[in-house]
Amino acid sequence: MDGPDGRVVAVGMSGGIDSTMAVCLLKEKGYTVVGLTMKIWDGPIGRDAVKSGCYGPNEASGIADAENAAKLLGIEHHVVDLCSEYRQTVLRYFSDEYTGGRTPNPCVVCNSRIKFGSLVEKALLSGVRFDLFATGHYARIMYDSRAARYILLRGVDGSKDQSYFLYRLSQEQLAGVLFPLGGYRKEEVREMALKTGFAGCLERRESQDFLEWDDYGMLLGDPGRPGDILDPEGNVIGAHRGIAFYTVGQRRALRLAGMKEPYYVLRIDAEKNEITAGPKKYLMSDRLAAADINWIVPFKERPPEEITAKIRYASKPARCEIFPGPDNTAEVRFADPQESITPGQSVVFYAGDTVLGGGVIER
């Protein structure tokens, strides 16, 4: 991030503390900064917001906060309408995955294809001039001159590290991106907001969820039809209301009576319209199959450090071995069994702080 070098940086602004402080840091470095804010909510769903999320009617207040922050910082600001792109890419993916019996990760798709894709492309096409794109993500980028490759690294603050959501970024995207907060801890960023007169950002709830409401059924084009819930031996023990409303590891809403211990969703078979449920011990597995893998560091050139993997954003990195297969597939074997390995979610590989790549869990 050292500079300036005459280049203009566009910052994706949400109106929150992280993106606002990213602008402050870039301005302190002497960069010329412009703000970009996505508009993705077009009000097609009659829902009131009940929590903070990325998609929902509260978007208007976020846009207003971003515009106000840009005004106070004295930078140019543009709102980029991506409603159509978001609906076609993220919402369609979300619906297709759930109705297919899988659990999607919309943040991964949104980052690679919307935030670092359509937002940048559409802003440039509309005439906004900039050379680099920056966000408030807690991650870092390093250029490996020996390998002539950009490397994605964890953020310094392990509790806020967001590299998991960024593993699908291409070399072209990484080459044009800055993460000003990657070397800071969250508390340092909070202190920065107080010192720079943006204490109001601390009062704004951070978006921790995808949706601003709890029931996502209205996003599903076809939530499916009722079907059987089976136990691990194949016996019918209950009924589900549609496979799109369930995910592996879920306990809530199974409505199974008379069980001696809690039952969880173990498997979802979209073709047979069946859900298998059982005790928690059946959720443990020491391996998975992944597809659609994006290697930031080619597997044959991986660093000598021990490889770990995360099977969801909130999970702890676990030691594993990777056995690459054809067509960007791989089998992953863990040193210790993992709980609730979920088809549709992402598995992301690390060597120390370096993100090697990741893929989509198939089974």
State residue 45's pLDDT score: 61
Tell me the pLDDT of the chain averaged across its residues.
Answer: 90
Asked if 296 contacts 248 with a C-beta cutoff of 8 angstroms, the reply is: no
- Residue 3 forms part of a structural domain: no
pLDDT digit string (tens) for 101-144?
Answer: 898 999 999 999 999 999 999 999 999 999 999 999 999 999 99
State residue 95's pLDDT score: 86
Residue 262 and residue 301 in one domain? no
**Tokens of residue 248, six digits:** 């592996």
CATH of the domain at 241: 2.30.30.280
* DSSP letter, residue 111: I
Residue 324 and residue 271 in one domain? no
Domain limits at 116?
8-211
* DSSP letter, residue 23: H
Q: Which residues of the chain carry a pLDDT beneath 70? A: 1-3, 44-52, 201-208, 211-218, 221-223
State residue 5's pLDDT score: 76
Kindly report the pTM of this predicted structure.
0.90
Distance CA 28, CA 18 (A): 15
Question: How would you classify the pairing of strands 284-295 and 329-339?
Answer: antiparallel
Comparing C-alpha atoms, which of 125, 34, 123, 39 is closest to residue 81?
A: 39
State residue 1's pLDDT score: 56
Distances in whole angstroms, Cα of residue 139 to Cα of each of 207, 256, 313? 17, 43, 14
For the chain, the domain total comes to 3
State residue 253's pLDDT score: 81
State residue 56's pLDDT score: 75
State residue 151's pLDDT score: 97
